Amino acid sequence: MHVHYVSPVNDTVNDTVCYLIKQNNKITAAEISERLNISLSTSKRKIIDLKKKGIVERIGSDKTGHWKIIEPTEKKIK
């Protein structure tokens, strides 16, 4: 029998990363890792998770761009 792990709906690290992006839409993965005392790779992985879930998107380049939080109504339109 195979048991599949289902991640919790309220992932506190993802929620906190999302909160930090809401507070500063130009925040970098390095700044997130410093603020949360997590590794840079974990910070990048959490950002990728949020992007895959359609919660955030990057507008512009990595260097000069910013983050956009996608509202639930915007998800339905796309």
Domains of the chain, with CATH numbers?
12-77 (1.10.10.10)
Long-range contacts of 75-78 (CB under 8 A, 24+ apart): 78/54
6-38 pLDDT, tens digit per residue, is 444 456 888 899 999 999 999 999 999 999 999
3-state SS string for the chain = CCCCCCCCCCCHHHHHHHHHHHHCCCCCHHHHHHHHCCCHHHHHHHHHHHHHCCCEEEECCCCCCEEEECCHHHHHHC
pTM: 0.75
pLDDT at 1 over 80: no
